[in-house]
Amino acid sequence: MRRRDFSISALVGAGTFLTTASAADRAAWMKEARFGVMTHFISTWIRPRGQMTIEEWNRLIDNFDGEGLAKQLESVGAAYYLITIGQGASFYIAPNPTFDKYVPAAVSRCARRDLVSDLYGPLHKRGIRLMVYSVPGPPLDDPAVAKGFRRDSDSPGGREVRSRWQEVVRDWSMRWGDKVCGWWIDGLYTPNRSFRAPDPPNFASFVAALRAGNPASIVAFNGGVMDRAYSIAPEEDYTAGEVEQPANFTFAHSENGKIDGAQVHMLTYLGKTWGRGEPRFSTEQVVEYSRKVADAGGAVTWDTPVQENGLISGPALEQLRAIGKALGRR
């Protein structure tokens, strides 16, 4: 494995953690990073809907092997790691007093353990950045959440819901500070109606909440699956890049790793589907897809099947090692 320099001077020089990058350069590190790993650690995926309790969720979070995962990521040469905070009707992987304020319950939806903070140490000492996945609003299919976030308010377009959720993500951002270097925001399928407004809550106010704890955090908004890199809003730093068939992914009109002002990035999955299943491509194919993006100055993130202890399954790990080696990360 390639030796790495973890001295303070090296980290500052590379802009790795102690960055004071300008807004235009926040995502510049992704061009050098080339390759990262994502896992969907979501309660409704690990257990079928209705079979997960907060007690069981806390047990899973308590047993998440952050040190073991960090060793795996180091072994494959991943430059960064992206993990889900929560999605839909799932529980969350870290405490959030603001969420609990709006949804008072005998038992919180939020884990006791702050898994994000606990992952930072093992990753940081290996030079691996930490990013988080979230969504633009709360799980309103839960009646208690819908009531707490005032879904029935008469604010136009659900602005009260988004305002309160903005407070929730700000809480997490302030909790984690510069431990988290980036956010990937899913589900922005109606950006004009939801966030493209002159007054808060809008793109600017939501991004300000995400960067409250770390002004250098990079942000991407996902408007859905598309076979080309595109940017939704000028407030984002890199393209969400969600694609199901990476062979079809294009980045036309990109220059020096950027497209429409945003760093080129592709996110896809190794397994049969997101977070689950055996590898769907040959190792030669995933290397080819990764190299195409990286050689154009972009970064590629591979979602991988995850076990209940947080570790990556064996077949996926072997493919990740091949990617890391091909991209000069190992």
Q: What is the pLDDT of residues 96-136, one digit of tens each?
A: 999 999 998 878 899 999 999 999 999 999 999 999 999 99
Q: Model pTM?
A: 0.91
153: left (phi over 0), alpha (psi -120 to 50) or beta: beta
DSSP secondary structure letter of residue 97: H
Q: Are 301 and 265 in contact, with CB atoms under 8 Å apart?
A: yes
d(CA 138, CA 88): 7
d(CA 311, CA 48): 20
Of 92, 88, 43, 31, which is closest to residue 255 (Cα–Cα)?
31
What residues does 130 pair with on adjacent strands? 81
Q: How much is the CA Rg of the chain, to the nearest whole Å?
A: 19
For the segment 234-271, what is each residue's pLDDT rounded down to a tens digit? 999 999 999 999 999 998 888 889 999 999 999 999 99
Please give the pLDDT value at position 107. 81
Element (H, E) at 263: strand 262-263
Please give the pLDDT value at position 183. 98
**Tokens read off for 65:** 């092997």
Q: Are 293 and 248 in contact, with CB atoms under 8 Å apart?
A: no
Please give the pLDDT value at position 24. 58
Distance of CA 309 to the CA centre of its chain: 19
**Backbone phi, then psi, for 159, in 5-degree steps?**
-65, -35
Q: Which parts of the chain sit beneath pLDDT 70?
A: 1-24, 48-50, 154-157
d(CA 321, CA 330): 8
Please give the pLDDT value at position 141. 81
**In angstroms, what CA-CA distances link 273 with 40, 52, 88, 165, 231?**
11, 21, 17, 29, 24
HSE toward the beta carbon, residue 278, CA cutoff 13 A: 1
Please give the pLDDT value at position 139. 87
Please give the pLDDT value at position 239. 97
What residues does 273 pair with on adjacent strands? 276
Of 181, 261, 190, 263, which is closest to residue 222 (Cα–Cα)?
190
Classify domain 8-326 at the CATH class level: alpha beta
Q: What distance, in Å, lies between the first and last C-alpha atoms of the chain?
A: 5
74-93 per-residue burial string, b: 16 or more CB within 10 A, e: under 16 = bbbbbbbbbbbbbbbbbbbb
Please give the pLDDT value at position 20. 41
